[in-house]
Structure 1
Amino acid sequence: MRTSLGALLAIGLAGLQFIAVMVVVFSSHITSERALLDHARGLLSDVGANITEHSKSFLGPARGAAELSARLAQSDVITSENPELLERLLFQQLQVAPQFAGLFLGSEDGDFIYVMRSEGPAPFRSKIITVDNGTRMTDLIWRDDDFTVVEQRQDPDDPYDPRTRPWYEKARAELTTIWTAPYIFFSSQQPGITLASPVLDGGGGIRGVVGVDIEISEISDFLARQRIGKTGRALIIHENGDVIAHPNKEFLKSEDADGTLRFASIGDFEDPIARAAFLQLTAGSTEPVTREAVSQFSYEGESYVSVVKPVVSEKLPWTIAAYAPENDFTEVIKQNRMMNTWIALAVAIVTGVFGLALANYIHKPVRAFAVRSALISQGEIPPSEPLPATYRELERANATLMQQIAARRETEIEYGRTFALSSRGMAQIEAGSGRLLRVNEKFSEITGYSSDELGQMTFQDLVIRPDPSLSQLYGYVGVEDGEFRGEVPCRRKDGETIWTSVNAIMVHNQEGAPLHLVLTMDDITQYRLKEEQISELNKDLTSLSRHNTMGQLAAGLAHELNQPLTAIAQNADTALLTLKQLSLSDPELQEILTEIEEQSLRAGEIIRALRGFIRKDEGVRTMFDLKELVEQTERLVIAEAHAADVTIETDLPPLPPVEAIRIQVAQVLVNLLRNAIESLASNTEGERRVRVAATVAGDKVQVCVEDNGPGVDPNINLFTAFESTKADGMGIGLSICQTIVQTNGGELWHEPAPDGGARFCFDLVAGGIDASDHMASLDGPEQKRSGQSGGSGRRQQNT
């Protein structure tokens, strides 16, 4: 039996019609249910916002009252020395703010004034504690609404000290207005909170603390008045997990074993639904709530919707939470669902009949085509009869779409080739996270990672010091042009640090939303190294020029000073000769003239040493007396040694001449002597002593500069450039000295001194005399005392 196409089409259309109607009905139901649930969430959010604002407005006057009282006390408008005036001010503020349970002022002397509400024998009670020379007095005063005393008595056994209370200690420590954690007031057995503000003395200290006690039961009353569906509830949870406000105030209090009342924790709260919904807010179990969170949960098979608001403020770490059953909002729509289903079925049947008629109408061209085919086969009509134009428009649309797809694929292939074959490193980076979406071969070559490895990384993983502008571009936060250009240090896979030139641009879609970043990268490490080398060379040239200038200035100064010193010596000698010829026997005058002659000759020796030190030898090795050079360099540093109270000793036997560049060896000696003097400058105990000794060792002359200072830090690489033990040192002196000695055929080394100091030694090649014969011909070490001609013994100069 063959099936009729028209029957299939009619039944299919009718079925589709029925399904469409049912889909509309159920989608309408789901949409309505979702809309109602969204409305419920919005209602819960609005309730939370209202509670937050109500809490702020309820507690706001307390801050103003406390800070006003603190400013009045700070400016001496009211003081604890005038308790009656202060009591009246607190009394008036208590009358104005019905939510205040009490106001008080405690001072650093232990004085305390507290005005609170009372249940009898008068509506207000004042507690005034005064401490005078160690004598403590406590007065209790009951007043009516007109500030008239109703009853008054003293309480000598009252031990209350405001300075030991948590609110006082916290305000004194933070020096700002503070809120305490909520607690159950001892007197009224009602939940409350205390706000305290310090009274400063103008010098950074504190004179006292003003505070306000607030009963927060009214917040629970406000929660009870909120209507959230039929059975929804709202509550306030402190950051420690205590429930401090709830429509049922009896749930708030919990009694400890010792009879003390406290707030009930959300973990043992008597509202089981609230406990199931908000147990995760217990202190320490989760992160603080920073933004509104709406969620759904189930309790005993029933679904609920809940909302958790962010904390009220940093000072009031309270979380507003609310819940309501979903049935409170969707019960009606669920009842209507069955009725709508039957209605939809009836509508489907009716529309199905019309669908059959429509199917017949739609099937008519197909039937006509079948009749036409039959007629052609019977030869009743020619084949040239035009075909029905049923699918021509669809074919045109399909052809157009295929053209667009082909053009797009061609563009993508072209871009892909450009990306892959680019001579610069290129990458696509995900906006917001910085994840590398795609990289080309050059990018992998620069970073050392494969494309698969880079696909698991972010660009931040490659950067050593992220540029704030580039990091800002990742998140697309505050970026107007969406571009970055700069030099960024990166770390390759092998650990090598490279410098890269990075250009990045944000690509957006038609709506302006960021899609990804296109980044290009070039390795500019060698370029940076060349720049640094050029910069260092410029510094060295500048330093060399400065040193040459100073050398010329010193040479000119030495030449000019030598002439007047010679004249002074000659005049002093002439004066002594004249005294002898005149037969004048004034010993004191002769001693003065002799000393003038000696000191002028000594100054001349220093000048000659300076000229010898700075004279140009053009880098030519010569034979010179090392002992004489040591004496000259000693004269150059004698002033520095004198300023540092350092004694310089020398042990210089007759030495063979050495072959080296004289000025360079002098530079090494001066540097070692100055280092020794500077190391002894921080030595505050004992004698400060530097010893210079020279010996002949084989075919070399060895010179050692030794001090009794603190020694050398073992963590310092002494002969490495830019390593220094001085706070202002450049760390190149010893490195240069080592190079100089090695250039002159010797070695420079360091070894610990026997008495704990530092000892630096170097050797030079002796020239012209066999070392063994020379040592055999010596009767013993010849020593010379600094500053004197002739004499023997150990050389010592106190400076």
Structure 2
Amino acid sequence: MINSLSALMALGFAGLQFLAILVVVFSSYVTSERALIQHARDLLRDVGVNTIEHSKGFLNPAQGAAELAARLAQNEVITGDDTRQLESLLFQQLQIAPQFAGLYFGRSDGGFVYVMRSPNGPGAFRTKVITYEDGVRNTQLIWRNKDFTAVAQQMDPLDRFDPRDRPWYREASAELTTIWTDPYIFFSSQQPGITLAAPVTNPDGSVRGVVGVDIEISMISEFLSRLNIGMHGKALIINHNGDVIAHPDQSLLKTIQDDGTLRFSDIRELGDPIARAAFGPLALAGGIPVAVETPTQFVYEKEPYVAAIMPVIDKRLPWTIAVYAPEEDFTGVLKRNRALNIWLAALIAIITGVIGLVLAEIMSRPVRAFAVRAALISQGELDPGAKVPKTYRELERANTTLMEEIAARRTAERQYGETFDMASRGMAQIAASGGEFIRVNSRLSQILGYSEQELLQLRLADLIHPDERMFLLLAENPVTADFDVNSELRCLRKDGAVIWVRINTILIRDGQGTPLHAVLTLDDITQVKQSAAQIEQLEKDLSHLNRGNTMGEMATGLAHELNQPLAAIAQNADTARLVLNQQPSPEPELQVILGEIESQALRAGDIIRALRSFIDKDKGTRTGFDFQTLLQQALHLVRAEATDADVTILTEGVDQLPPVLGNRVQIAQVIVNLLRNAIEAIDLGDAPENPRRITVRGALVNDNVRISVEDTGPGVPPGLDLFTKFETTKSNGMGLGLSICRSIIEANGGKIWHEDRQGGGSVFAFNLPVHQLA
């Protein structure tokens, strides 16, 4: 028996040694892998912090330079009228800061001084000066060397640049503080950059002008390319709108638009597929920028990666630093050595097993001594009061230690009770079956408005808002649920008020897994929720306002730029007709063609002038006109689109309508917009069996002419107010077309509305007053 016990102990010890070593090896592998992953995340965070500090250090001198120039101009160290002194100041600032692409000062009278680097010009620097003398505009270009000596100059009579129209001038003048623009691709150098502007004010507070600094930010990409992030890691900078403005590979930053200009690549279209996989889904969900540092893990082509997204640099520069790297760069060596470590662990286990046999023999000797003593006592050969073997004292120490542990546990339970009652958060113990409160603290009573005794008569489900169905199911029967919850939900106070709370709950089980009770902590976050909702609504309002302003500015610019070429076309057509009439035998067909060119150019000019007057909130001129003629011209404009979409346009009753009163061009815009909407609706419809047809109907109703545009498309979803700004059914629509149509029709004394078409489709109708002849 003694020999078998010793052998059993030896084998058990050796087996435990082997198992322990394997556990240590594998746990060491797991913990090492976790440590390396955590190290990788720390490294990514450090890279993000260094990139932020580098960006600040790169851009802060620009703000200092702009504000210094603004102060010098404001304190009349230089005068706004001394162009050469102002040019010298800007020249000196440009030489000091190598990251500056150009500095300039735009005056409130339209004057402009711009000093920029000119690597391809006759001089290292180029100055552009715009002045007004006796109402005459002069634009001068001057090339200078590094010592400010002029090497070439010329006049530019075709230049029409006005600094007061630029966004940096308008924004700095409006806010009266230093502002940063969003990054963009510079037109001249085709390099990524950003503009900083600072206002210069007169003593009375009016704006004298604005100082601006153009900064090329390509050096930030060069800094990112020099970073060592593992073996294959990369860092990039994402603007708040999703544009990637800095990347180790600068060729990926630029995207050519349809008009030939350059813009930044969006993170969702970046030529770096790993960066798209890491950060594209977050940008698509609106999660960029983030409020706090956000570490993530993802898989690309079956290879795991770690990534981190840093909070924005500051309010002036809403940029997000994003970093990623393969896990293999940090754990590859550990994985390759795993098999070797396992074999080494087995060898060590065998060696320690042999040693364990020896130790087992030594350890079993006291046990054998106790067995012999017990046998002798049972046979009466040994007095029970004889000296106890030394091992008994160790057992007594274990017993003493156990008693001390019991006392310590009771002390800890008492301290837990005091902490529970005095906690600054609401706390409670909940029965595992039924969800009744077993114990609550005073803070929970304050939050919910009940006394502690009242809460002990309630269940958790009695306090939850009825709309929180998912949590109600958990609270009704905690035993059948995991009940480990960390969520935000609504609760009802005793006075009936609805409050938002953050609840954390865990289910406590005994050693056999039987539920004992649940522990709940609760915080009142009602004020936080209300503040977040107010901020969200404000952001939506600001977004809608910015979109409306952008639309107006774009339309005004197009109207201004298109008037001149249209006037030139009309004049040239008229001159060609005059020359043709002087010929001995003028061609009739050529006369008709030239007349048509002149007529269409004048008509386009009328449309442009009507558009400008509408943007300026001018109702325009209302006259009587024949609606059938106007409709034919509008059909001519959309006929190509209808043909491409295989849509047939029919008219009914419009040839019997009397003249209508209104602004002819504005009404034409409404008709064209409704026809195009109908064509797009039919083209997007998913019912090929329906006829692809649009019907324009006219009818006289009392003293008004009623016009309806009927299509066979899919119709309008219920609950959508189409005539409200920014409401649209198009995936790429802005929601402004029908809102503008309503404004035009109401400005012309009519009304526009929508009706559902019987059999599917939509009907958009409007009425206009009949022209009363004097």
Corresponding residue for residue 26 of structure 1: 26
Equivalent residue for 2:691? none
Q: Taking structure 1 as reference, are residues 34 and 340 closer, same or farther at Cα in structure 2, changes over 3 Å only?
A: same
Structure 1 position 101 matched with structure 2 position 106: no
Q: Given the superposition, is the C-alpha separation of residues 161 and 283 from structure 1 closer, same or farther in structure 2, using an over 3 Å criterion?
A: farther
Residues 76, 382 of structure 1: alpha-carbon distance in 2 compared, 3 angstrom cutoff: closer
> Structure 1 residues 319 and 18 mapped into 2: Cα distance closer, same or farther (>3 Å)?
same
1: CA distance, partners of 2:415 / 2:74: 74
92-101 or 362-371: bigger deviation: 362-371
- Equivalent position of 2:622 in the other structure: none
Separation (CA, whole Å) in 1 of partners of 2:171 and 2:292: 28
Shift of residue 452, structure 1, vs aligned partner: 5.7
Which letter maps to 1:290? A
SS in 1 for 2:307: strand
Counterpart of 2:259 in structure 1 is 258
Residues 371, 241 of structure 1: alpha-carbon distance in 2 compared, 3 angstrom cutoff: same
2:440 is the alignment partner of 1:438: yes
- Three-state SS of the structure 2 residue aligned to 1:153 is strand
Distance 1:442 1:242 in 2: 50
Match of 2:516 in 1: none
- Structure 2 residue aligned with 1:397: 401
Match of 1:776 in 2: none
Could you say which residue in structure 2 is the equivalent of 1:337? Answer: 338
Whether the aligned pair in 2 keeps the contact of 1:435 and 1:455 (CA below 8 Å) is no
Residues 293, 408 of structure 1: alpha-carbon distance in 2 compared, 3 angstrom cutoff = closer
Cα distance in 1, alignment partners of residues 428 and 411 from structure 2 = 29
In the alignment, structure 1 residue 243 sits paired with structure 2 residue 248: no
Shift of 1:174: 0.8
Partner residue, 2:279: 278
CA 1:385 to 1:56, structure 2 compared with 1: closer, same or farther past 3 Å?
Answer: same
Following superposition, the deviation at residue 331 of structure 1 comes to 1.4
- 1:389-427 CA-partner distances (Å, limit 9, x unpaired): 152222233344445656887x699x89xx9xxxxxxx9
Map of 1:671-750 to 2, 5 A cutoff? none
Given that 1:429 and 1:516 are in contact with CA atoms closer than 8 Å, whether structure 2 keeps it comes out as no
Q: What does residue 740 of structure 2 align with?
A: none
Instruction: Report the CA distance between 1:110 and its aligned residue.
Output: 0.5
User: 1:193: which partner in 2?
Assistant: 194
- Conservation of the 8 A alpha-carbon contact between 1:428 and 1:516: no
Alignment deviations for residues 249-288 of structure 1 (CA, whole Å, 9 cap, x no partner): 0000001111110000001011111111122553871263
* Superposition deviation, residue 57 in structure 1: 1.2
Q: Which residue of 2 aligns with 1:295?
A: 296
Instruction: Give the secondary structure class of the aligned counterpart of 2:158.
Output: coil
Q: Distance in 1 between matches of 2:230 and 2:297?
A: 15
2:112 equivalent in structure 1: 112
Q: Which runs of 5+ in 1 are unaligned?
A: 420-426, 459-490, 497-514, 518-799
C-alpha contact (below 8 Å) 1:199/1:208 kept by paired residues? yes
8 Å Cα contact 2:289-2:320 kept in structure 1: no
Shift of 1:384: 4.5
Match of 1:90 in 2: 90
2:145 alignment partner in structure 1: 144
Q: What secondary structure does 2:236 align onto?
A: strand
Q: What's the counterpart of residue 267 of structure 1?
A: 268
Q: Which residue of 2 aligns with 1:626?
A: none
Q: Deviations over 1:363-408 (max 9, x none)?
A: 1122222233334445544454444415222223334444565688
Query: 1:294 Cα shift?
Result: 2.3
**2:108–2:164 CA contact under 8 A, matched in 1:** yes
CA distance in 1, matches of 2:13, 2:183: 69
Q: In the alignment, which residue of structure 2 is the partner of 1:160?
A: 161
- Using the size of structure 2 for normalisation, the TM-score is 0.54
Q: Determine the C-alpha separation between the residues in 2 that align with 1:372 and 1:50.
A: 73
SS where residue 337 of structure 2 aligns? helix
Secondary structure of 1:76 counterpart: coil
Aligned-pair CA distance for 1:247 = 0.6
Relative to structure 1, is the Cα distance of residues 275 and 452 closer, same or farther in structure 2, using a 3 angstrom cutoff?
farther
Equivalent residues of 1:305, 1:323 under 8 A apart: yes
Change in Cα spacing, 1:402 to 1:101, as seen in structure 2 (3 Å) is closer
- Aligned 8 A contact 1:239 1:283 in 2: no
* Other structure's SS at 1:4 match: helix
TM-score, normalising length: structure 1:
0.53
Specify whether residues 3 and 494 from structure 1 end up closer, same or farther in structure 2 by C-alpha distance, changes over 3 A only: farther
Distance 1:429 1:399 in 2: 29
Asked whether the 8 Å contact 1:74–1:201 carries over to 2, the reply is yes
Say whether the 8 Å CA contact 1:243–1:264 is kept in structure 2. yes
How far, CA to CA, are the matches of 2:335 and 2:377 in structure 1?
60
| 1:451 partnered with 2:456 | yes
The structure with the largest alpha-carbon Rg is 1
Indicate the residue corresponding to 1:68 in structure 2: 68
Which whole-Å CA distance do the structure 2 matches of 1:115 and 1:161 have between them?
16
Residue number in structure 1 paired with 2:215 = 214
* CA distance 1:4–1:219, change in 2 (3 Å): same
Say which SS state the counterpart of residue 266 (structure 1) adopts: coil
Is the CA contact 1:80–1:111 (under 8 Å) kept in the aligned structure 2?
no
* Unmatched 5+ stretches in structure 2: 430-438, 464-491, 498-519, 523-774
**1:58 shift after superposition:** 1.0
**Structure 1 match to 2:49:** 49
Residues 123/105 of structure 1: CA separation in 2 closer, same or farther (3 Å cut)? same
Distance 1:55 1:442 in 2: 50
Alpha carbons 1:447, 1:493 under 8 Å: kept? no
Paired with 2:115 and 2:322, the residues of 1 have a C-alpha distance of: 34
Trace 1:227-238 onto structure 2 (pairs within 5 A): 227-238=228-239
Question: Counterparts of 2:354 and 2:263 in 1: how far apart (Å)?
Answer: 73
The structural deviation recorded for 1:108 is 0.9
Match of 2:618 in 1: none
1:351 is aligned to 352
Q: In structure 2, the residue corresponding to 1:398 is in which secondary structure?
A: helix
What's the % identity of the aligned pairs?
A: 55
Q: Distance in 2 between matches of 1:214 and 1:394?
A: 75
Per-residue Cα deviation, 1:727-783 (whole angstroms, up to 9, x for no partner): xxxxxxxxxxxxxxxxxxxxxxxxxxxxxxxxxxxxxxxxxxxxxxxxxxxxxxxxx
Q: Are residues 159 and 434 of structure 1, via their aligned partners in 2, closer, same or farther at CA, if it must alter by over 3 Å?
A: farther
Query: Could you say what secondary structure the match of 1:212 adopts?
Result: strand
1:290 to partner: Cα distance: 2.6
Query: Using a 3 Å threshold, how does the CA distance of structure 1 residues 273 and 6 change in structure 2: closer, same or farther?
Result: same
Counterpart secondary structure, 1:230: coil
* Cα drift, residue 362 of structure 1: 1.3
65 and 385 in structure 1: CA distance in 2 versus 1, 3 angstrom threshold:
same
- Give, as a single letter, the amino acid of the residue that structure 2 aligns with 1:4: S
Which residue of structure 2 aligns with residue 634 of structure 1?
none
CA RMSD for the aligned pairs? 3.4
Give how far 1:361 is off. 1.3
Give the secondary-structure state (helix, strand or coil) at the position aligned to 2:268: helix
The code of the aligned residue for 1:431 comes to S
CA deviation map 1:217-262 (0-9, x unaligned): 1111111111111111111111111000001000000011111100
Q: Is the 8 A contact 1:429 1:438 kept in 2?
A: no
Tell me the amino acid that sits aligned with residue 455 of structure 2: S
Partner SS state of residue 282, structure 1: helix
Mapped to 2, the partners of 1:492 and 1:33 lie a distance apart of: 48
1:320 deviates by: 1.1
The residue aligned with 1:747 is none
Comparing 390-399 with 233-242, greater Cα deviation is found at 390-399
Q: How many Å separate the matches in 1 of 2:235 and 2:53? A: 14
CA distance in 2, matches of 1:215, 1:406: 68
Q: Cα deviations across residues 594-644 of structure 1 (Å, max 9, x unaligned)?
A: xxxxxxxxxxxxxxxxxxxxxxxxxxxxxxxxxxxxxxxxxxxxxxxxxxx
Per the alignment, in what secondary structure is the counterpart of residue 391 of structure 1?
A: helix
Aligned equivalents of 1:164, 1:494: Cα separation in 2: 58
Query: What SS is found at the alignment partner of 2:235?
Result: strand
One-letter code aligned to 1:31: T
Rounded to whole Å, the distance in 1 between the matches of 2:409 and 2:42 is 45
Q: What displacement does 1:10 show?
A: 1.4
**Paired amino acid for 2:207:** I
